[in-house]
Amino acid sequence: MAKANYNSEFLTYFKNPKTYEELDLVESGALKLHWANWNKLVNHLHLSIDKGEQITSVAEVNLMLDQYKEVELWIINKQGSIRSSLYELYTYYLDPRLRELWFELNEETLISFKSSSGPFIRLQSMRWFNFDIYKLFVYQKLLAKSGVIPRSFRMTVKIPMKCEFIDSVLDGIETTIVQVSKTGMLMKVHSKADLQSLKLCNNVRFFGNLEPFIRSMGKKIEASNEIFNNDVFESHNKMNQSFKLKSNILSIGNNSQNIFYSNGQEFFLFFSYDDLADLDKKALKTPMIEAVEKYEEFSLKQLAKVA
């Protein structure tokens, strides 16, 4: 990609990103950025909105959320039946007081998308939950400066990982690292069965292709771009880096609590670089952080041009 075109794509995105659109930080798309995953870009959008500029994401988010006001549902508990909408259900879910009452404490609350007489599913089952719809509410709050704190710079990735359970009869599983930041990595687990395997085994080694991060250490942005363009994360032949965690991944941070709010089909688990076993931390922490900082610094230079 020509340098002028590369820089132009950053400027176009930073001026007016679409709701779900991600910016390719490198031509291959191996590293991406979503506007909601960078506090400085969110703050820039706030300034544009305050100036009265038309930001596509604002209109798109509101339009998409409005359609869920037309999706009827019924909430049933001991107190009776409430006719509501999918929009209101997510509003209740995002209210900490109602979430504790309905989603955490009351196992008998049921919902139906058909009628007040059923068929029903348990509210706590989270089978109704759609992560893309949930993100729309988060985006709306971010853009409106309404109770959601913008997050520091983090890159979207798709790095397949093989997990081997050491000293266990459990079969290995596959997961995916989907996000890297200056503090750690976010891993997606693809099924409840795989999550159960992770729960049962404390001695797990994760294998994946993290070599591009190591090879890009100390290099300028142009050289790093070449490395990430030519080194495909998805190659199973390059899973030559591995790491272990100091403790079970479900015991780290809020992971055990956060899985409660999954839709039961995929689960997101975070671990910091300090959660890595000492030798793995020494090998991986510095190159991972350096790569994130390098692309944030470059992005900042581009953002300054549209500020």
Q: Could you report the per-residue pLDDT of 43-102, keeping only the tens digit for each?
A: 999 999 999 999 999 999 999 999 999 999 999 888 788 899 999 999 988 887 777 777
pLDDT at 172 exceeding the cut of 80: yes
Are residue 87 and residue 189 in the same domain, yes or no? no
Q: Which of 100, 98, 284, 107 is nearest to 180 (CA)?
A: 284
In a domain, 58, yes or no: no
User: Could you give the percent of the chain with pLDDT greater than 70?
Assistant: 95
Residue 240: per-residue pLDDT? 79
Q: Is residue 266, in this structure, part of any structural domain at all?
A: yes
Q: What is the average pLDDT value for the chain, to the nearest integer? A: 91
- Who has greater pLDDT, 200 or 103? 200
- 236 pLDDT band, cuts 50/70/90, is low
Domain endpoint, select from 143, 167, 197 = 143
Q: Are residues 259 and 281 in the same domain?
A: yes
What pLDDT digit, counting tens, does each position of 31-40 carry? 999 999 999 9
Query: What is the mean pLDDT of the segment spanning 191-196?
Result: 94
Q: Is residue 124 part of a domain?
A: yes
Q: Are residues 133 and 264 in the same domain?
A: no
Name the domain boundary from 118, 143, 168. Answer: 143
Question: Quick one: angle between helices 3-15 and 278-306, nearest 10?
Answer: 80
Maximum mean pLDDT: which of 174-183, 221-230, 234-243: 174-183
d(CA 209, CA 231): 9
* DSSP-derived pairing of the beta strands 121-122 and 184-189: unpaired
Domain that holds residue 283: 3-38+151-306
For residues 262-289, b (16+ Cβ closer than 10 Å) or e, as one string?
A: beeebbbbbbbbebbeeebbebbeebbb
Asked whether residue 86 is assigned to any structural domain, the reply reads yes
Question: Do 298 and 180 share a structural domain?
Answer: yes
Two structure tokens written together for 175: 């997961």
Residues 236 and 204 in one domain: yes
Look at residue 28 and tell me if it is in a domain.
yes
pLDDT value of residue 235 = 62
CA nearest 7: which of 304, 302, 307?
302
Residues 216 and 279 in one domain: yes
Residues 6 or more apart from 276 whose CB is under 8 A from it? 243, 244, 245, 246, 284, 285
Count the neighbouring beta carbons within 10 Å of the beta carbon of residue 290. Answer: 18
Tell me, yes or no, whether 261 and 190 share the same domain.
Answer: yes
205-220 residue pLDDT tens? 999 999 999 999 999 9
> Which positions ≥6 away from 44 have C-beta within 8 Å?
14, 303, 306, 307
Number of folded domains in the chain?
Answer: 2
Residue 47 lies in a domain: no
Tens digits of residue pLDDT in 2-24: 565 678 899 999 999 999 999 99
Please tell me the predicted confidence (pLDDT) of residue 11.
94
Residue 100's pLDDT is 73
- Residue 54 domain-assigned? no
- State residue 265's pLDDT score: 81
